[in-house]
Amino acid sequence: MAPNRKTLPQHKGTSLPDIHTLSHGQLVAFMEELHQPKFRASQIEEWVWGKNAHTFDEMSNLPKSLRDLLSQHLTIGTPKELARQISLDGSRKYLLQFTDGVSAECVGMPTKNRLTVCASTQAGCGMGCTFCATGKAGLARSLTASEIYEQVRHIGDDFHTRVTSVVLMGQGEPFMNYDETLKALRLLNSDKGVGIGARHLTVSTCGIIPGIKKFANEKEQFGLAVSLHSANQATRNKLMPGVRKYSLLYLYDVMGEYVDKTGRRPTYEYALIHGVNDTDTELDALCDFCRGTLAHVNLIQLNEVPGSPFTPSTEERANQFVQRLGSVGVAATIRNPRGADIDAACGQLSQAYTKC
């Protein structure tokens, strides 16, 4: 007798539930409906999350009868690669399409014995940062935990190596998709999944204060980066209108609370834009904001976006920022640009693909 699927999520029409959306409890209950032992649920999860199986037939330690039943009642949603670009420096950028047709970008950045993935938490972004290609396109929707996770698995499979660290610094604002972002981090951290250490998993936020407060109370030692881009309120409002309501004074206070609670050092991301946030006045404000705090400033050479009025600062100016910050006791580094010869900035590959 066929199971009635009462334990599975119900979908409109004839579409079957994606196994990625099932909790462990739901999968155990479904095994009971199928008159299968409970341990089958763990075996299936190992294939789905640990081995990144694309079909139920790959699950060779399951009876064929069970594999057939799973195929009748569930699907395994896997993203489709719409585009891939390979840089001379070895980094690879991907545009992945999910089962509903929505797409998002992710990047794999190899270094010696390491592979870092930059993944997206949303398809598009609603924050409207004026220097970002993603912000111009707007927000399509937030991604599920499994869709965030699958970006990492896709890149690991393409490089044929284990991913060693992940930054959720691609398209979207992670804290506007908080619950799914945390689920994805925990999947990536889990031994059943990729098994990446919590300190090698970092979330980058534009400065969503409620999200930072909540994140500080999570038990895991996940990393936090904040896109600052200016410590002058007027300049930051122009560059990052989506966080206008969260003042720098409020951000300063909440970051102090974050450090006190976690003992971890956050990173401030700062994309240097010629004549906008790289002036002496802006540098003074940045030094004042960071002085006396536990923080690291990551200076970024701005990726030029076609049609944008913004251009990157010079390397000489970036080095001056490092030296001045160092003189007030603030550690700062210049991020090594990756993928400069491809559509490296967030949103560029999506725009290039849609124009084709």
Q: What domains does the chain contain, in order, with CATH numbers? A: 19-73 (1.10.150.530), 80-355 (3.20.20.70)
Pairing outcome for strands 331-334 and 296-301: parallel
Is the model's pLDDT at 5 over the cut of 60? no
- Orientation of helix 315-327 relative to helix 280-290, angle to 10°: 40
Report phi then psi at 204, rounded to 5. -115, 125
Q: What pLDDT was estimated at residue 135?
A: 74
Are 274 and 304 spatial neighbours (Cβ–Cβ below 8 Å)?
Answer: no
Q: How many residues are recorded in the chain?
A: 356
Q: CB burial class (10 A; 0-12, 13-18, 19+) of residue 18? A: buried
Region 273-298: mean pLDDT is 97
Side-chain-facing half-sphere of 276: CA atoms under 13 Å: 22
CB-count exposure of residue 306 (10 Å: 0-12, 13-18, 19+): exposed
Query: What is the residue-averaged pLDDT of the chain?
Result: 91
The pLDDT confidence band at residue 274, using thresholds 50, 70 and 90, is: very high
Average pLDDT over residues 40-44: 96
Asked whether the CA dihedral 282, 286, 289, 291 is positive or negative, the reply is: negative
- Which pTM value belongs to this model? 0.90
Q: Are 202 and 169 in contact (CB under 8 A)?
A: yes
Question: Token match 């090594």: residue?
Answer: 336
The radius of gyration computed from the CA coordinates of the chain, to the nearest angstrom, equals 22
Average pLDDT over residues 148-159: 96
- pLDDT tens sequence across 70-125: 999 999 989 999 999 999 999 999 999 999 999 999 999 999 899 999 999 999 99
The residues annotated with a catalytic role in the active site are 105, 346
